Chains A and B, each alone.
With several copies, the nearest count.
Chain A
Amino acid sequence: MKQISVDDIRKDFPVLNQTINGRKLIYLDNAATTQKPNTVIKSIENYYKSFNGNPHRGAHYLSLKSTEIYETGRKKVANFINASSTREVIFTRNATESLNLLAYSYGMNFIEEGDEIVISIMEHHSNLIPWQQVAKSKKAVLKYLYTNEEGIITEEEIKKKITDKTKLVSIAHVSNALGTINPIKFIIDYAHSRDAKVILDAAQSLPHMKVNVKNLDVDFLVFSGHKMLAPLGIGVLYGKENLLEKIPPFLYGGDMIEYVYEDSTTFAELPHKLEAGTQNVAGVLGLTKAIDYLNEIGMDNIEEMESELTSYALEKLDSLSEIELYGFKGISNRGSVISFNVKDVHPHDTASILDAYGVAIRAGHHCAQPLMRYLGINATCRASFYFYNTKEEIDLFIESLKNVRKWLGYES
C-alpha cells in the first residue's frame, strides 16, 4: 500500500473542513451521498465556463468539445468497470433510473406470465418496487432471498429460490441498510446455470471496491455517480452488448434515433439508442474526474482504509452496552455501513442529538422497509464511512453517542 495521508485527502474536500454551529462537521452519511473533491467541483465550473454546448448535434467548437468530454467519460467508465466496449455503458440520471430502465425495457418485454423474478429481502426500494410492478403487470412471481439468523443469504437459500422458472435475479452487491456483502459470484453463476439473467445493484459497492463486470460475468450492473464523489444527476447502466441490443429503447427523443417518419421510427445504435434528449455532460465530466480521483488513491487502498475504519467503529460500538447492532457482525463480508440503535431511544432522536454534536448519520428505514419488517424493527441509525473519514471522527461519533440517552432523561 502506497503512503496515503488522510489529512492530505481531506484537504481536497471542502465540505469536510466545515464547522457547523461551532462544531467540526463529521460526515458519516456516505451511503446516502458522498462529498466531492475539488477536482470534481472545479471540472463542473470549467465546463460551464469554457466548453458548454449541446453534444452530438453540432459541428461547432463547443458542441464538439462537449461530445468529446461525454464520450471520453464513457471510455473512462468502461475501463473502470472493465466493460468490453463503450457500447455497453449507458448514462442515466442515477441507479434508480438505471433500474427502472431495465424494468421497463427488459422486464416488461422479456418477463412472461408465470416467470419468476428473484430479489433479496435487503433490496433498496429502487431495486424492489420496479420488480413488483413488472411482476404485477406481467403476472410473474416475485420471490425473495431471505437472510439467515447470521444475516447472510445462504447457498441453500439461493438454490431453493433460483429455479428453472427464474428469468431474472436482481440483487444488491452491498446492502445500504446493513452493509452486508452478498455472495454475488455464487448467485451469478448459479443463476446462469438456470438460464436466468442477473442485475447487480452496485450503488453501494462500486464506490468502495473493485468491481469487474467481466470477471463477475454479470449481465447488467447499475450505480449512481453521487455515491462515488461525482455530482448529482449522473448514473450508469452497464449491460452486456448482446442484451442491450435486444431490449427496446426506454426514453424516446432526440439523439436516440436513426430515421423518424410520421408513423414510425428506427433507432440509433448502442449506446445512443438508450440515451434520449440532452445529456448531462457536466455530470459525465464530474464522474470522469471522480474516477480519476478514486484510481489515483487506488480501489484496493480504499477498501483497506475503509475496512480499518469499519472494524474500529464496530469494536467501539460493540463495547457500548446501550448500543444494539443490526446485520452481520463480522468485519469480513461487510461494506463500510453500520446499522444500530441506542437502547430505548428512537433513531430519529439519536440522529437529531448527534446532529447537534456535528455528527451526520442517517435514521430511518433506509429505503428498505421490507428488510426492517423482516428484522422486526421500525428503523435504525446508520453510520457509513468513506475513505476520507478518520478514526478521530469515529471517536467523536462514539463520544457523542454516549450522551444520547442522557438527553432523553435516562440515568446512563
Chain B
Amino acid sequence: MNLDSIYTEIITEYSQSKHNERTIDSPTKSLKGHNPSCGDEINLEIKIKDNIIEDAAFTGVGCAISRASTSIMIDLIKGKRIKDALNLVDTFIGMIKREITNDEDLEILEDAMALKNISNLPARVKCAVLAWHTLKQALE
C-alpha cells in the first residue's frame, strides 16, 4: 500500500484544520454517527432553510481520515440543495465502493476525490464513509 496516495496533503490539511469543528445554534438536524469497532464518533449538525443547507458542522473524535472526510463533506454541501447533497453522498459512496470509477462522474466531489484511494485500505473505509452515511440518515 502506498501511503502517499492516502495521507495526501488535502487529507492532512483538512484533518488538522478545525474550521468545521464547532456547534451550530439551534440546528435543524443533529445526528450522531459512530463506528463502534474504532471508537470513532461524530456529531453532525446541519441547519436547513428552504431546502438548502445553510450551515453544517461537527464535533467528536476520529482518525485523520474520518475527520478529513467529515470536514471536506461539510465544505462541499454547504449552500447546496438537499437533493444535490444526497446526490453527492451517493456519488461519494459509489466512489469508495468502486461502483463509480469514471473521473468525470466524480468531479462533482471536488476535494473529496482525494479519498478515492481509501478503497485500497479496507480497514479504513468505514472511517471515510462515516460522516457521509450520517448525513444521508440526517437528510432522509
Contacts and interface: CB of A to CB of B under 8 A. Distances in A.
Contacts of B40: 348
Interface string A18-52: 00010000000000000000000000000000000
B75 to A, nearest CB: 18
Given A352-B6, A409-B12, A59 B124 contact: yes
B123 A64 contact: yes
B39 A58 contact: no
Contacts of A364: 37-39
A378 interface: yes
Interface string A60-84: 0001100110000000000000000
A352 B64 CA distance: 11
B7 A353 contact: yes
B12 A348 contact: no
Interface string B44-65: 0000000000000000011111
A166 B121 CA distance: 47
Nearest to B9: A409
A409 B1 CA distance: 19
Given A59-B123, A408-B15, A268 B36 contact: yes
B1 A355 contact: yes
B96 interface: no
Interface residues of B, number: 25
A292 interface: no
B38 A352 contact: no
B103 to A, nearest CB: 25
B16 interface: yes
A257 B36 contact: yes
A217 interface: no
Nearest to A355: B1
A238 B7 CA distance: 41
A365 B6 CA distance: 24
A408 B64 contact: yes
Interface of A: 21, 56-59, 63-64, 67-68, 257-259, 268, 345-349, 352-353, 355-356, 364-365, 369, 372, 378-379, 407-409
Given A348-B65, A356-B3, 13 more contacts: A346-B64, A347-B63, A348-B127, A349-B7, A352-B6, A352-B124, A356-B1, A364-B39, A378-B39, A408-B7, A408-B15, A408-B16, A409-B13
